[in-house]
């Protein structure tokens, strides 16, 4: 007597690609005919990201190596779209995020870390290593006056603001050079104009400002008291330099 066999089950289009522990990008959610859980021996070394085209098979270890190379060689932060384009869009955002999380975990505890910032992903040195790096830098980072830092703080915490708003809060006139300094650094930009007589420009911080602070959004800004401490330190250094010059 011949046995009847059921036709193979078609894969569910709603299944989500997941990164397995055995170095593969596999599809989750498929039922096994014997009801047993899938073991590591059952998993392939690689699988397709979309479950359809076998030519798009992605090995996780290779994908991680490529991601590592992309991020280490990039001069700027890379967006999720940039990273997906490097893989010819074979990996969706969920899979890419799992790969990035895995790569971030691998670099945890080292002198360099993988971080997600406002404009994308990049490697950066740990803060506790920065003093050692600064000793070898021939070009020192620019020093900013209290006026510049106060103006930046007002824009960051009160944005969007006009030049008049800044002057009202500081109690003194704001030099055009102060705003030009912040704009040339790429920290602030004009984002519109207030609907009042004269239509004054509205200033706000940029993604680059958040990136250079190592932040993903304005909600991660430190308390204003910490900014004030930085300003006090600037004043102390300026007074010390002035006394030494005399």
User: Which region among 49-58, 67-76, 88-97 has the lowest average model confidence (pLDDT)?
Assistant: 49-58
Q: Using alpha carbons, list the distances in angstroms from residue 94 to 49, 87, 97.
A: 11, 14, 5
Domains and CATH numbers, the chain: 17-127 (1.10.10.10), 146-237 (1.10.10.10)
First to last CA, the chain: 108
Give per-residue pLDDT as tens, 135-178: 887 777 778 888 898 899 999 999 999 999 999 999 999 999 99
Predicted TM-score (pTM) of the model is: 0.52
Which tokens is 34 given? 């014997």
Give per-residue pLDDT as tens, 101-126: 999 999 998 999 998 888 899 898 88
- The band of 217, judged by pLDDT with boundaries at 50, 70 and 90, is confident
Q: Residue 202's pLDDT is what?
A: 95
Which value, to the nearest 10 degrees, does the dihedral of the CA atoms of residues 45, 121, 75, 123 take? -80
Q: Which of 163, 205, 210 is nearest to 188 (CA)?
A: 205
More confident residue, 81 or 229: 81
Q: Residue 136's pLDDT is what?
A: 85
Q: Residue 195's pLDDT is what?
A: 92
């Amino acid at each position: 007597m011949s046995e009847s066999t059921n036709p193979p089950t078609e894969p569910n289009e709603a299944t989500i690609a997941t990164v397995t522990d055995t170095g593969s990008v596999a599809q989750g959610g498929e039922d096994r005919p014997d009801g047993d859980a899938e073991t590591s021996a059952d998993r392939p070394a690689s699988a397709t990201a979309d479950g359809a085209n076998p030519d798009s098979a992605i090995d996780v270890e290779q994908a991680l190596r490529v991601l590592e190379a992309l991020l280490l060689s990039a001069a700027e932060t890379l967006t999720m779209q940039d990273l997906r384009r490097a893989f010819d869009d074979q990996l969706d955002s969920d899979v890419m995020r799992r790969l990035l999380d895995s790569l971030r975990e691998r670099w945890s505890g080292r002198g360099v870390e993988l971080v997600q910032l406002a404009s994308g992903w990049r490697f950066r040195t740990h803060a506790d290593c920065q003093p050692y790096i600064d000793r070898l830098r021939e070009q020192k980072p620019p020093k900013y006056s209290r006026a510049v830092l106060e103006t930046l703080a007002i824009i960051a915490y009160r944005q969007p603001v006009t030049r008049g708003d800044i002057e009202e809060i500081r109690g003194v006139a704001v030099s055009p050079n102060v705003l030009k300094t912040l704009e040339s650094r790429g920290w602030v930009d004009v984002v519109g104009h207030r609907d009042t007589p004269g239509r004054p420009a509205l200033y706000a911080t940029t993604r680059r400002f958040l990136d250079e602070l190592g932040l993903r959004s304005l909600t991660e800004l430190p308390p204003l008291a910490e900014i004030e401490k930085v300003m006090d330190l600037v004043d102390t250094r300026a007074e010390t330099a002035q006394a030494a010059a005399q």
